[in-house]
Amino acid sequence: MAARAPAFWQQRSGLALLLSPLSFLFGVLASLRRALYRVGVLRAVRLPVPVIVVGNIAVGGSGKTPTVDWLVTQLRAAGWTPGIVSRGYGGTVEGVGLVGADSDPVLCGDEPVLLARLTGCPVAIGRDRPAAAQTLLAAHPECDVIVSDDGMQHYRLARDVEIAVVDEATLGNCRLLPAGPLREPLGRLSSVDVVIAHGALSLPVRAALGSATAVSMVLEGASFRSLRRPDETRPASAFRGRRVHALAGIGRPERFFDQLRAMGLDVVAHPFPDHHRFTAPDLDFAPEEAKLMTSKDAVKCAPFAPDNAWEFPVQATIGSGAAERILEKLNNGRQTA
């Protein structure tokens, strides 16, 4: 995935049109691969516990990490003991590894470490998702459900529930790679169990959902937390009336900047590529002014953060019907197992 999405992905430009034959070929190959798994020519690995996949049909951030955090809370409340598997994108670990809340995000990737801290769940990473899940279950046999973060296109891991998190801004021109940002066509959304919409969806996208259950998601935060002194928090009002710097190495940094501005803050935006590997010089400017960042970036910046660096933790509020649909499918599978 590109560090920054090409500008032409956002419109049906001449370059996108020029790349359309490659997109057509990509779509044919993606559909063929999925069909081969569906008919059993390519074999998916079935785990001894159910699997819930949280993903998207486009490259880029859409809110999957807070969705996984929300999902884990729902599962625990219903009596399940979840574990999480992730690709570990941006990390340097080869093969499969277990991740804890104190793991190094440079080695394991920022999202797995953040998920371990947010959820307290066992987390395993690896390009080979079935192997990562098997390693997790061997180390934590108490886990009775696996949540696969960003695993929708990893068909080798058989799944029982699919959740698509959709931020329409990441769909861009709605063309397949490389002419656009889509990994799979819009129609793929009609086959998932739940679509979680991070923001409003247009009529064409809603039409593509078909009969899939669709609910809204809002990311909300109440206060800022010091990176140097995690027990210290401040409300947004503490930063009003003076300039602040917002740093974001996420899929859609503009969403973070807009959220801060909506809170009445005077924001100087500092966008970085998604999964940017922050270093101390990235924060070595404007020593008298506050630096605000997402939780995903804070896990990487904490070791060298200055005194005026603050994390903005958010939680997902997801519409009614999503948890019920997910738990219904899991419980039906439990009864028929």
> Domain containing 81 — which CATH number?
3.40.50.300
> How far apart are alpha carbons 229 and 247 in whole angstroms?
19
Asked whether residue 247 falls in the same domain as residue 180, the answer is no
Are residue 298 and residue 325 in the same domain, yes or no?
no
Residue 9 lies in a domain: no
Tokens 């003076």 sit at which residue? 242
State the pLDDT at residue 337: 57
Same domain for 137 and 258?
no
24 found inside a domain:
no
Identify whether 139 is part of a domain: yes
Pair 286, 147 in one domain? no
Residue 10 lies in a domain: no
The boundaries of the domain holding residue 113 are 44-218+320-336
Residues 195, 329, single domain; the answer is yes
32 domain-assigned? no
- Report yes or no on 3 lying in a domain: no
Could you tell me if residue 155 is inside a domain?
Answer: yes
Tell me how far apart the alpha carbons of residues 330 and 321 are, in angstroms, rounded to a whole number: 14
Q: Are residues 71 and 198 in the same domain?
A: yes
The number of distinct structural domains making up the chain is 2
Same structural domain for residues 126 and 158? yes
Q: Print pLDDT tens along the chain (337 aa).
A: 344 678 899 888 889 999 999 999 999 999 999 999 999 999 999 999 999 999 999 998 889 999 999 999 999 999 999 999 999 988 999 999 999 999 999 999 999 999 999 999 999 999 999 999 999 999 999 999 999 999 999 999 999 999 999 999 999 999 999 999 999 999 999 999 999 999 999 999 999 999 999 999 999 998 999 999 999 999 999 999 999 999 999 988 999 999 999 999 999 999 999 999 999 999 999 999 999 999 999 999 999 999 999 999 999 999 999 999 999 999 987 666 5
**Nearest alpha carbon to residue 133 among 94, 201, 84, 99:** 84
- What is the domain-level CATH number for residue 288? 3.40.50
Claim to verify: residue 206 and residue 227 sit in the same structural domain? no
**In a shared domain, residues 138 and 190:** yes
Asked whether residue 86 is assigned to any structural domain, the reply reads yes
Buried b (16+ CB within 10 A) or exposed e, 117-155: bbbebbbbbbebbbbbbbbbbeeeeebbbbbbbbbbebb
Q: Indicate if 56 and 155 belong to the same structural domain.
A: yes
* Element spanning 84, H or E: strand 82-86
| 117 and 263 together in one domain | no
Specify whether 140 is located in the same domain as 162.
Answer: yes
The conformation of residue 190, written as its DSSP 8-state character, comes to G
State the angle between helix axes of 322-336 and 64-77 in degrees (0 to 180), rounded to the nearest 10.
60
pTM for this predicted structure: 0.94
